[in-house]
C-alpha cells in the first residue's frame, strides 16, 4: 500500500487527503493509515509530510540545502526569448493549452512552461473543455512583477488580442477551404 500511496503523491504532485487516498486506492482507512506509516518510516531523499489532514512528498532535510542551491541557480537565469514568447502568448491570448502555445511559438514549449511554472509566473489549471489537459494562465506574481493588476491593463491589450484573433480566424479559414 505504501508504494501505491508514494506513486500517487509523486505522479499527482500535490497533497492528498486520507479520504482521497482511500477513494483512489479503493481501500479502507486502516490500510491507508498503515501505508502512510510505512512510507513515513522509510529513509530516502524524499520524505512524507503529514499535517494530520493531508500528506505530501517533499525533499528530505539531508538534501534540502542542495535542492535550494540548485533552485537559486535556476531562478537567477534569465527566462530568455522562449520564456518571453510563452508569457506573451499566455498574457495576451490565454489561458492556453501547451499545444496552443507550441503552435503560436512554432516549437515545443514543455521545458519553457516548466521553468515559468517553477518560478511562479504561470500556473496550470484544469481545462474545462477537456479534463485530460491543462491550461496555462498568468499568476498574480507575474502581474505584480509587470506592474499591472490584470492582463487587460497591459499595453495595447485590446488591439493585440483583436489582431491575434483575426490571424487565428484567417488561419482557420485557410485550413478549411478546399485546395
Assess whether 94 and 165 both reside in one domain.
yes
Whether residues 142 and 96 fall in one domain = yes
Report the candidate in 108, 109, 103 with the shortest Cα–Cα distance to residue 122: 109
Q: How far apart are CA 157 and CA 179, in angstroms?
A: 35
The mean predicted confidence, pLDDT, of the chain is 88
| pLDDT value at residue 57 | 84
Residue 85 sits in the same domain as residue 54: no
Residue 73 lies in a domain: no
All cell numbers assigned to 114: 516548466
The upper half-sphere exposure of residue 152, i.e. CA atoms within 13 Å in the direction of its Cβ, equals: 0
Range of the domain at 146: 80-176
Asked which of 10, 28, 62 is the last residue of a domain, the reply is 62
What percent of the chain lies above the pLDDT cut of 70?
Answer: 97
159 grid coordinates: 488591439
**Can you give the CATH number for the domain in which 37 is found?**
1.10.10
- Are 99 and 129 within 8 A, CB to CB? no
CA angle, corner 65, sides to 62 and 68, nearest 5? 135
Q: Has residue 67 been placed in a domain?
A: no
Whole-structure pTM value: 0.59
Question: Which is nearest to 74 in space by CA: 26, 133, 115, 103?
Answer: 115
* pLDDT tens track for 13-59: 778 899 999 999 999 999 999 999 998 887 677 888 888 888 888 88
**Residue 75: inside a domain, yes or no?**
no
- The CATH number of residue 90's host domain is 1.10.10.10
User: Which three cell numbers, joined as nine digits, stand for 18?
Assistant: 486520507
The total number of structural domains in the chain stands at: 2
Same domain, 119 and 33: no
Quick one: 94 and 150 in the same domain? yes
Same domain? 54 vs 138: no
Instruction: Give the separation between CA 40 and CA 51, rounded to whole angstroms.
Output: 12
Find, among 75, 104, 78, 99, the residue nearest to 89 by Cα.
Answer: 104
pLDDT tens-digit series, residues 96-148: 999 999 988 889 999 899 889 988 899 999 999 998 889 999 999 899 989 99
Amino acid at each position: 500500500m505504501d508504494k501505491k500511496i508514494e506513486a500517487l503523491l509523486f505522479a499527482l504532485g500535490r497533497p492528498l487527503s486520507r479520504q482521497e487516498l482511500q477513494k483512489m486506492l479503493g481501500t479502507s482507512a486502516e490500510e491507508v493509515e498503515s501505508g502512510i506509516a510505512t512510507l513515513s518510516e522509510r529513509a530516502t531523499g524524499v520524505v512524507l509530510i503529514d499535517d494530520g489532514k493531508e500528506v505530501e512528498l517533499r525533499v528530505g532535510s539531508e538534501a534540502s540545502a542542495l535542492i535550494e542551491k540548485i533552485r537559486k541557480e535556476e531562478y537567477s537565469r534569465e527566462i530568455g526569448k522562449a520564456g518571453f514568447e510563452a508569457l506573451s502568448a499566455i498574457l495576451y491570448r490565454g489561458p492556453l493549452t501547451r499545444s496552443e502555445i507550441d503552435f503560436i511559438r512554432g516549437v515545443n514549449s514543455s521545458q519553457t512552461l516548466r521553468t515559468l511554472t517553477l518560478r511562479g509566473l504561470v500556473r496550470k489549471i484544469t481545462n474545462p473543455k477537456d479534463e485530460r489537459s491543462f491550461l496555462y494562465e498568468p499568476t498574480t506574481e507575474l502581474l505584480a512583477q509587470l506592474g499591472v493588476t490584470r492582463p487587460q491593463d497591459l499595453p495595447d491589450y485590446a488591439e493585440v488580442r483583436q489582431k491575434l484573433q483575426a490571424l487565428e480566424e484567417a488561419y482557420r479559414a485557410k485550413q478549411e477551404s478546399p485546395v
